Every structure is written in C-alpha cells, then in structure tokens.
C-alpha cells in the first residue's frame, strides 16, 4: 500500500482546490488521445477524433474527461484507501471496458503534465513528486481487480 | 526507428530554440532525483541530495544535468539517426554505468514535464506529442546497445 506523508497530502489537496476539473479533465483526456493515438480505440462512439483540433474541441471528449477527473477527485479525498475507492471502477475497466492497465499510467502522466502547464510556480519538484506518487498509486488501484 | 514528420521536426526544433539548455538540464535531472528517489543511487559522488532543496541547488546536479541535455540537443540535430548518435553513450550506460534503461524513459518523461511547466499554454497537445515521440526515440536509442 502506498503511504503519503502529511506534507504530500496537504500539497496534493492544496493544488487540487485550484484545479478547474471541467477544463482540466477535457484537456487531460484530449491530450491522451493526441499523444497516444491508440487510446482512441476505446472511444469509437465519440465522433470526430481525426485531428488534434477535432479531439481537443470534441464535446464528448470534454464531457468524459470531466467525468474521469471528477472520479480522480475521489482519490484526493481517499489517499489512504485507493484500492477500496477504485475497486468497482477496476472491475468495470477489466470486465466490461477491457482497457489495458498500462493506459492508466499514461493517463496519470497526462494529469501530471497538464498540471505542470497550468501551475508553473506551484508545480515545484516536491509537488510533482507527490502527484506522480498519487497518479501511480491510482493506476495501480485501477489495475488491482484485474484478472 | 522513430519517424517524425517534417511538421513534427519543425515543432521540436522550433520549441528547442527557446529552451535555456543550461537551466532545463539541471531542472530535469534534479526533478528526476526528487520524483524518483531511487535514481539517486547513480550519483553517490554528488554530495548532498538529502532534500528537494538540496537536490535542486546541488552544483554537481546542475552541471551534470547540463551535460545530459547538451547530449539530448545533439540528438535533436540527428532525429533520423538516433541509434547511431547515441551508440557510444548506450554502450557506456550499459557496460560502465550499469543504468537500467527504464530510467531513460523516466528522464524523458521528466523532461516533457519540465518543458510543459516552462512553456505552459505554448506546450500544446501537438508539441507534447512530438516531444513524447522524441524522448521515447532517445530512450530506445540509449537502450539499443544493451546486452
């Protein structure tokens, strides 16, 4: 189980409070689809993903990005029990959505990068370390129920 | 072998022209050591790495970071022959330095993060995608001579 220090928890919560989940969510999911184009295969029903502009402007991408990042918000509230928090989502992603868990790590890296673009001053090395730890732990929690 | 389109090459060199290689090198290496603390094992002779502040302010970290990034810059001038460009360094990292090639991917990701932080909105999804391709190409080239 991953352990976060009180300092790390405070840093994460502090930055999270400043995140516009709707905007950042769409940005994060959009960038995943642009930077790692094979991830588009999970979003066949989303319509036009034919270019960077199409992806970043796609309303379904934005809506789903918001949904995903809201869910990530639960991680911030339950950093001591990520496996429990993401248990159902883990089963869903394995049994119904058939998503390779490697993609959770890629999305986690995307979260870190979008935070870096949006929070220049606040995204210190310590802040980056705390968020990298969290996104890795969430990725592991999402993979936990895979079989 | 990594293939970058003419447009991607232009994007990569265009942004790189604005990068302060001295500073970004130290920043990237420092952040590697803070975010992935096990990487400090390769730098025993660097002195005080006991805290984020110590790492980021360490003169040897800054100097070595600059050296690493100068080398990366060379790669950017030879995007069509990364394996050739990094052949000797690949042998060095395998035979003398004994560095697990996974760490090249980690450094690549940290570099992308530092560029994202420094360039904010200008680090568009397209720019990010091009750089992600480059850092993966460089990491692969550095691992190529491993045996």
| Whole-number pLDDT of residue A23 | 95
**What distance lies between CA B1 and its chain's CA centroid?**
18
- What residue of B is the nearest CA neighbor of A110? B113
Inter-chain CB proximity B109 and A129 less than 8 Å: no
- What is the set of domains in chain B, with CATH numbers? 6-143 (1.10.490.10)
* Six-digit token string for B76: 């950017």
Q: Report the half-sphere exposure of A49 (CA within 13 A, side-chain side).
A: 22
Which candidate in A23, A39, A117, A139 is best for mutational testing of the B interface (most B CBs within 10 A)?
A117
Task: Dig out the tokens for B99 from the structure.
Answer: 């560095």
For A61, B3, B114, the CA distances from B130, given in Å and listed in that order, are: 21, 10, 15
Q: Do A117 and B121 touch (CB under 8 A)?
A: yes
Q: Would you call A113 and B128 a contact, using CB atoms and an 8 Å cutoff? A: yes
- pLDDT, residue B3, reads 85
Q: Looking at the partner chain, which of B34, B118, B125 has a beta carbon nearest the beta carbon of A125?
A: B34
Structure tokens given for B55: 């790492």
Given a cut of 90, whether residue A1 has pLDDT beyond it is: no
- Using only the alpha carbons of chain A, give its radius of gyration: 15
Give residue ranges of A with CB < 8 Å to any B CB: 30-31, 34-36, 52, 55-56, 109, 112-114, 116-118, 120, 123-126, 128-129, 132
**Distance separating alpha carbons of residues B11 and A20, to the nearest angstrom:** 28
pLDDT tens digits, one per residue of A79-120: 999 999 999 999 999 999 999 999 999 999 999 999 999 999
What local confidence, expressed as pLDDT, does residue B111 receive?
98
B52–A126 C-beta distance less than 8 A: yes
Residue B6: its pLDDT value, please?
A: 94
Nearest CA of chain B to the CA of A34: how many Å? 7
Size of interface A-B (CB pairs under 8 A): 60
Residue A128 pLDDT greater than 90, yes or no: yes
B14 — pLDDT class (breaks 50, 70, 90)? very high
Q: Which residue of B has its CA nearest to A127?
A: B35
- Which pLDDT belongs to residue B69? 96
The domains found in chain A, sorted by start residue, are: 6-143 (1.10.490.10)
- What's the whole-model pTM score? 0.93
Which one of A55, A113, A120 has the shortest CB-CB distance to B112? A113
pLDDT at residue B1 tops 80: no
- pLDDT for residue B2 is more than 90: no
Contacts of A109 in chain B (CB under 8 A): 109
B56 closest CB neighbour out of A34, A118, A125: A125
Distances in Å between the Cα of B109 and the Cα atoms of A22, A32, A74, A99, B124 are 25, 14, 25, 22, 16
- Tell me: pLDDT of A53 over 90: yes
pLDDT in tens, B82-136: 999 999 999 999 999 999 999 999 999 999 999 999 999 999 999 999 999 999 9
The tens digit of pLDDT for each residue in B22-42 reads 899 999 999 999 999 999 999
Q: What pLDDT does residue B147 have?
A: 87
Q: How far apart are the first and last CA of chain A?
A: 19
Chain A residues closer than 8 Å to B65 by CB: none
- State the DSSP string of B63-92: HHHHHHHHHHHHHHHTTT-HHHHTHHHHHI
Please name the residue of chain A whose CA is at the shortest distance from the CA of residue B130: A35
């Amino acid at each position: 189980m991953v352990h976060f220090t009180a300092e790390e928890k405070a840093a994460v919560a502090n930055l999270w409070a400043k995140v516009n989940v709707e905007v950042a969510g769409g940005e994060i999911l959009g960038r995943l689809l642009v930077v790692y184009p094979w991830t588009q295969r999970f979003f066949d029903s989303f319509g036009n993903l034919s270019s960077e502009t199409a992806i970043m402007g796609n309303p379904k991408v934005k809506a789903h990005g918001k949904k995903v990042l809201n869910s990530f918000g639960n991680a911030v509230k339950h950093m001591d029990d990520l496996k429990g928090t993401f248990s159902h989502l883990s089963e869903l992603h394995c049994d119904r959505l058939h998503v390779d868990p490697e993609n959770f790590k890629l999305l986690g890296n995307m979260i870190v990068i979008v935070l870096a673009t949006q929070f220049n001053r606040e995204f210190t090395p310590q802040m980056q370390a705390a968020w990298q730890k969290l996104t890795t732990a969430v990725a592991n929690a999402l993979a936990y129920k895979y079989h | 072998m990594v293939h970058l389109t003419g447009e991607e090459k232009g994007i990569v060199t265009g942004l790189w022209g604005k990068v302060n290689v001295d500073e970004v090198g130290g920043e990237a290496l420092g952040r590697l050591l803070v975010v992935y603390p096990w990487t400090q094992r390769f730098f025993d002779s660097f002195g005080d790495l006991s805290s984020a502040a110590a790492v980021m302010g360490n003169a040897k970290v800054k100097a070595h970071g600059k050296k690493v990034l100068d080398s990366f810059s060379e790669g950017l001038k030879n995007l069509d022959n990364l394996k050739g460009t990094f052949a000797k360094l690949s042998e060095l990292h395998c035979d003398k330095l004994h560095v697990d090639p996974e760490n090249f991917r980690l450094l690549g990701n940290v570099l992308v993060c530092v560029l994202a932080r420094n360039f904010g909105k200008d680090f568009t999804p397209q720019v990010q995608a091009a750089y992600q391709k480059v850092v993966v190409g460089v990491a692969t080239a550095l691992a190529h001579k491993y045996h």
